Amino acid sequence: MQAVAIDFGIEKALEELGVKNINEGTSTGSQSFSNGDIIESFSPVDGQLIAKVKSTRKEDYERVMEAATSAFKIWRSTPAPQRGEIVRQFGEKLREKKEALGKLVSYEMGKSYQEGLGEVQEMIDICDFAVGLSRQLHGLTMHSERPGHRMYEQYHPLGVVGIISAFNFPVAVWSWNTALAWVCGDVCVWKPSEKAPLCGVACQNLAAEVFAANNLPEGISCLINGDYRVGEFMTKDTRVPLISATGSTRMGKIVAQEVAARLGKSLLELGGNNAIIVTPDADIKMTVIGAVFGAVGTCGQRCTSTRRLIIHDSIYDKVKQAIVDAYKQLRIGNPLDQHNHVGPLIDKDAVAMYEAALEKVVAEGGKILVEGGVLSGEGYESGCYVKPAIAEAQPEFEIVQHETFAPVLYLLKYSGDVENAIEIQNGVAQGLSSAIMTNNLREAERFLSVAGSDCGIANVNIGTSGAEIGGAFGGEKETGGGRESGSDAWKVYMRRQTNTINYTTELPLAQGIKFDL
């Protein structure tokens, strides 16, 4: 069988992105500040070694921070609309390289090519959003209680923003943070997942081209590679006022403690245990589409993936059969082949976790409806391809209470009113995404009310997966409480300052206090 790189143009894509035959990582543009241990990037698609990068040592990190802090002094004084113009150019660069970057995302991470293209499109969209935002970084004007005074508040850039991203969205989440941080006047230091380092190198190369064309310092965008120890360089560094971290709840708690210990700011996007409620008034066809894509998209490795399907007992059997039938139509295989629906898990550790989850649900008394398992043979040589599984379970099962980062869907049953379903949905530690399938207006509004879903995202008649750039993205409880992307998420990348101006020749004091000299 021919290699995927030949069949699907991966070698050409790598060359176009400047990441072919890499044996050392870049830190700021074309400069190489990484001289540590080698990180090998293997594709879960075919198990092939794509390339190698060098990890960042402490002394390398110090040079990165020197470049970043120096660049900040220039970047912060650049007018925001001009910063927006640079982001616009970066968005155009992404449009030019969309196909190549989408292929790299698909090949290095394992998601379908269409999802890889979709991820790059999210990068383009957030650039468009940020360009408009660059002319709207507004404050407030308010009345002073003192005559002849004016009060207002404004926002200033923070400085160096540290970004720690996860493997499942190896480029989009970085761009959500970076595009906004850039127009706000910040510079960024990014540690991508060590499971997808080449996507980071590719993005860094594209950004460096834009900065070079505009005679701007490369330190506006910096890259460091390595495991959690490299991330600790930033979390403990007082020169990094904000850490934006995406990953597991366990990781987020460690980051939060480290950053809080130095009174820094953290933006956390952590685990999700997302549910769709299916009421008697649901459109079954829409429910199946939303649930299946939510459960198997990205092989169940989205933070917004559907983990639980909470179905009313009056339609439980009908919905169950429809979902089971839909799973029979799924095609599992090379994600660069657009005929396939499901690609591989990221690595064999993820496969082991998937197998353990299926064993656990059975041990707790659950029933497997669609059998899982690891696929082998031609086309599955990497050992990372698994069959999406469905299990009947109870809400109180321990395995159901935790996030299973794999294509395992748990079917749960509820009876009575929608309040009972909402209680089940909210009865987990995570609070990222949620959805209800219903044509009953009262049920929909109840779900969206103050006593309804406790998640950061609550949808009606669409699934849990997928989010638009215009809205703030994030969740509550053990999801971390952070917000990225649209709405007013930009404010977290800036510091707020209140200003009072006295334009008289006298100095009246607040609250009528007299202090005569």
Is residue 48 within 8 Å of residue 133, measured between CB atoms? Answer: no
Rounded to whole angstroms, the Cα distance separating 298 from 168 reads 8
Q: Is 84 helix (H, G, I), strand (E, B) or coil?
A: helix
Q: Is 47 left (phi over 0), alpha (psi -120 to 50) or beta?
A: left
For residue 215, CA distances in Å to 186, 209, 220, 372, 507 come to: 17, 10, 12, 54, 46
Q: Is 158 left (phi over 0), alpha (psi -120 to 50) or beta?
A: alpha
Backbone φ and ψ for 312, nearest 5 degrees, come out as: -65, 140
Backbone φ and ψ for 516, nearest 5 degrees, come out as: -90, 140
364 burial class (0-12, 13-18, 19+ CB within 10 angstroms)?
A: middle
Residue 221, strand partner residues: 188
**Is residue 269 annotated as a catalytic residue, yes or no?**
yes
Instruction: Kindly name the residue from 115, 218, 269, 484 that is annotated as catalytic.
Output: 269
**Is residue 222 annotated as a catalytic residue, yes or no?**
no
Instruction: Kindly name the residue from 222, 303, 384, 455 that is annotated as catalytic.
Output: 303
SS (H, E, C) 233-246: HHHCCCCCCEEEEE
Joined together, the tokens standing for residue 60 give 């390398």
Which residue bears the tokens 């090379």? 334
Joined together, the tokens standing for residue 442 give 């009262």
Rounded to whole angstroms, the Cα distance separating 74 from 297 reads 42
SS (H, E, C) 325-345: HHHCCCCECCCCCCCCCECCC
Please report the DSSP string for 466-483 in residue order. Answer: ---TTSEE--EETT-S--
Q: What is the dihedral of CA 238, 241, 243, 244, to 10 degrees?
A: -170
| Cα Rg, the chain, nearest whole Å | 25
Rounded (to 5) percent helix, strand, coil in the chain: 40, 20, 40
Q: Is 96 left (phi over 0), alpha (psi -120 to 50) or beta?
A: alpha
Q: Is 456 left (phi over 0), alpha (psi -120 to 50) or beta?
A: alpha
Instruction: Please give the positions annotated as active site.
Output: 269, 303
